Structure 1
């Protein structure tokens, strides 16, 4: 068994697509119209055959309160691995990405947390060093 897809709930699929591709640098793998939405998946350019990130519409009634609670408590919805958090932080800040936590080292890992403009906090992480 292996992980092939993971999801992030987004308030607006088109806005999410622009953010995740234009700012974060992911690539579209699938963009297929389905029942008023899209089956919209992205992949990392470093792993185009790897795990796909599904930009899942936030339509279910449970999603809004769940996302709001995570953001209120400062909890990232998911985490993306990067080679160097500090370098990625600088690159993304220059692209206009808003961070709610600057790079912070805790033991063996350095993390930073960004706002994806679609209702989520997303963590980036790399080994400290």
Structure 2
């Protein structure tokens, strides 16, 4: 039970991308997310999962043009370390991984059984690693 009388939920998270137009195309056409808001002239792209229409939105936050230098450095260092910037879940991770590979997605970490289920890590073609999870239920 929440200790707050008026609890909150996560509405939106940001994923840093160099080019939100390129990222929007990748996240919608390759990863299957849906458009929430898209204004390429103003470098604004927000997507969401079709599985959770009232869930968390993802702002594809531009680091270019004229992005904040510390954001660009952070993004580059996290990528260099091989650290996933966000985690997505799949109902059938084996089928999801197969479909993504068929679309040309590159995996940094192949599908692996873990204590909590399965995971894999792929490159989002925008300078980020993304962890894909399926939890044991």
TM-score scaled by length of structure 1: 0.91
Report the RMSD for the aligned CA atoms in angstroms. 1.6
**3-state SS in 2 of match to 1:97:** coil
> What do residues 21-55 of structure 1 show as CA deviations (whole Å, max 9, x unaligned)?
0100001011246xx63332101111222211101
1:1-129 maps to which residues of 2 (within 5 A)? 1-32=8-39, 37-58=42-63, 59-128=67-136
User: How far apart, in 2, do the equivalents of 1:88 and 1:37 lie?
Assistant: 32
> What do residues 100-123 of structure 1 show as CA deviations (whole Å, max 9, x unaligned)?
110112201211111111110111
User: How far apart, in 2, do the equivalents of 1:108 and 1:79 lie?
Assistant: 14
- 1:128 is displaced (CA, Å) by 4.4
User: How far apart, in 2, do the equivalents of 1:117 and 1:62 lie?
Assistant: 21
Q: For residue 5 of structure 2, what is the aligned residue in structure 1?
A: none
Q: Which runs of 5+ in 1 are unaligned?
A: none
User: How far apart, in 2, do the equivalents of 1:23 and 1:92 lie?
Assistant: 7
**3-state SS in 1 of match to 2:84:** coil
- 1:81 is displaced (CA, Å) by 1.0
Q: Which runs of 5+ in 2 are unaligned?
A: 1-7
Which segments of structure 1 move beyond 6 Å, counting only runs of 4 or more?
none
**Greater C-alpha radius of gyration:** 2
When the two structures are aligned, how many residues end up with a matched partner? 127
